[in-house]
């Protein structure tokens, strides 16, 4: 069975997701030793900066989206930018692997933890929860609304090529294409499309409109917030300034995969 990682990268005016992807791929090679495929609309630019980190570039058109999102750089800087997050539904058809892990490019691999997915015996793994690296600041959304279905986080997920997963990703695409309907049906207040919501709704529907058993990726999904600042990276150690109540606290994390919400600080630390 072929195994590999699929990354999606579509740049906007400020965030160079392709450079993030190249950095992410270098960590994948170092810690997981897996093949990496990059899905992007900027093939020429990608080729110009890739050395040997990425094995396969898959060209797609930039997804049609009117999504905008506020990107923060710590407490004191923020900017509203286009957010091209609409390609995930295609990952089943795009992936060249029989067993695929899809990772956000701002997810820093610091361990071999994700390799456990391949031995799980499951067709699909996706986290139902995430953990704040500075505990007790915010609690992870457990549900897409207070009265609604369980929230699943599409930051990192694992799938095999199977009929069931083909149906799942087709359904996610259908939800994406009819997002206004599903947003109202599931009482989601936020108007911008989010993969997390589309995945959560699709998983609920495919399980017979019933709650699923836990299909989380082994280990915790650690996350920093966009008000936090990544200061330094050395080997598997990450140095942060973590914000709480407008104060910053230094913290070091080692040997742990972490999702970095402050893309600007990630760019500075990885020199991308």
Partner 1 sequence: MSRGIVLVAQNNKESNYLDQAYALALSIKLQSKDTNVCLITDTDDFKNCYDHTVILKDDLAKDKDWKIQNRYKVFEHTPYDETIVMDVDMLVLNNIDHWWEMLSTEDLFFVTDVKTYRNEKINDQYYRKTFIENNLPNIYSGVYYFKKNNFVKKFFMLVEDIMKNFDEYNNMLCDTTKQKWVSYDVCTAFACKILDVNISNIPITFTHMKPRIQNWNNHHTRWTAALDIEFTNDCRLYLDNFLQKDVFHYTEKNFLTSTIIERLEQCTI
Residue 146 contacts partner 1 per CB under 8 A: yes
Contact 109, 27 (CB under 8 A): yes
Contact 107, 156 (CB under 8 A): yes
**Could you write out the DSSP letters of every residue in 67-83?**
-EEEEE-SSS-EEEEE-
Q: Which is nearer to partner 1, 185 or 254 (CB)?
A: 185
Q: How far is the CB of 140 from partner 1 (least distance, A)?
A: 13
- Point out which span in 62-70, 75-83, 145-153, 165-173 binds partner 1 (CB under 8 A): 145-153
Q: Which is nearer to partner 1, 55 or 129 (CB)?
A: 129
Residue 148 contacts partner 1 per CB under 8 A: yes
Q: Which is nearer to partner 1, 90 or 188 (CB)?
A: 188
Q: How far is the CB of 129 from partner 1 (least distance, A)?
A: 15
The structure tokens 């997390």 sit at 196
- Point out which span in 82-90, 122-130, 141-149, 262-270 binds partner 1 (CB under 8 A): 141-149
User: Sheet containing 124-127: which strands, arranged edge to edge?
Assistant: 56-59, 35-40, 3-9, 99-103, 153-160, 124-127
Contact 113, 125 (CB under 8 A): no
Contact 221, 153 (CB under 8 A): yes
Q: How far is the CB of 186 from partner 1 (least distance, A)?
A: 6
Contact 202, 172 (CB under 8 A): yes
Q: How far is the CB of 209 from partner 1 (least distance, A)?
A: 4
Q: What is d(CA 31, CA 29) in angstroms, rounded to the nearest whole number?
A: 6
- Residue span 184-223 as binding mask against partner 1, x where in contact by CB under 8 A, dash where not: -xxx----------------xx--xxxx------------
Q: Which is nearer to partner 1, 71 or 182 (CB)?
A: 182
In this structure, the number of other CB atoms found within 10 A of the CB of residue 119 comes to 8
Site of interaction with partner 1 (CB under 8 A): 146-149, 185-187, 204-205, 208-211
């Amino acid at each position: 069975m072929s195994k590999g990682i699929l990354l999606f990268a579509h740049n906007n005016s400020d965030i160079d997701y392709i450079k993030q992807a190249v950095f992410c791929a270098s960590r994948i090679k170092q810690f997981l030793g897996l093949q990496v495929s990059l899905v992007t609309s900027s093939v020429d630019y990608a080729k110009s900066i890739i050395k040997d980190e990425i094995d396969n570039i898959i060209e797609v058109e930039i997804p049609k989206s009117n999504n905008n999102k506020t990107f923060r750089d710590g407490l004191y800087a923020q900017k509203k930018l286009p957010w091209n997050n609409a390609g995930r539904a295609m990952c089943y058809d795009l992936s060249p692997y029989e067993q695929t892990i899809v990772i956000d490019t701002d997810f820093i691999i610091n361990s071999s933890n994700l390799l456990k997915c391949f031995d799980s015996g499951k067709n699909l793994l996706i986290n139902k929860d995430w953990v704040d690296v500075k505990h007790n600041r915010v609690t992870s959304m457990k549900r897409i609304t207070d009265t609604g279905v369980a929230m699943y986080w599409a930051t990192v997920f694992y799938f095999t090529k199977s009929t069931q997963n083909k149906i799942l990703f087709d359904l996610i695409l259908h939800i994406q294409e009819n997002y206004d309907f599903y947003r109202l049906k599931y009482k989601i207040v936020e108007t911008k499309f989010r993969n997390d919501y589309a995945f959560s709704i699709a998983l609920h529907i495919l399980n017979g409109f019933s709650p699923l058993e836990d299909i989380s990726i082994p280990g915790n999904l650690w996350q920093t917030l966009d008000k936090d600042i990544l200061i330094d990276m050395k080997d598997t150690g990450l140095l942060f300034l973590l914000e709480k109540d407008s104060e910053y606290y230094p913290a070091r994390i080692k040997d742990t995969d972490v999702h970095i919400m402050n893309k600007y600080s990630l760019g500075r630390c990885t020199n991308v």
